[in-house]
């Protein structure tokens, strides 16, 4: 699986692997914790605009994943 780095600035990398886009960043504080999340083309366009836009993309994806986790836990309990 070959990866191509499309963007590398302000603490994020956007890369392409097998035609898919991923955003990679270090979420660690003292020890590196590299996170790689799939993104859409629209999220890619927003993330490369500015550090604030990149942060918003990361937050929106994490919020979406958290909502899905909460929903699936609620369904499992019912």
For residues 9-15, average pLDDT: 94
Query: In this predicted structure, what is the pLDDT of residue 2?
Result: 87
Q: Which of 1, 26, 29, 33 is nearest to 11 (CA)?
A: 26
pLDDT of 78 strictly over 70: no
Choice between 73 and 6, residue whose per-residue pLDDT is larger: 6
* pLDDT tens, position by position, 16-66: 999 999 999 998 889 998 989 999 999 999 999 999 999 999 999 888 777
Whole-structure pTM value: 0.78
Which residue in this structure is represented by tokens 């692997």? 17
């Amino acid at each position: 699986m070959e990866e191509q780095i499309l963007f590398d600035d302000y603490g994020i990398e956007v890369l392409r692997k097998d035609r898919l886009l991923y955003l990679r960043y270090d979420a660690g504080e003292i020890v590196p914790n590299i996170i790689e999340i799939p993104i859409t083309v629209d999220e890619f366009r927003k993330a490369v605009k500015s550090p604030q836009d990149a942060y918003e993309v990361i937050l929106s994806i994490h919020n979406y994943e958290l909502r899905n986790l909460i929903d699936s836990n609620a369904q499992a309990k019912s």
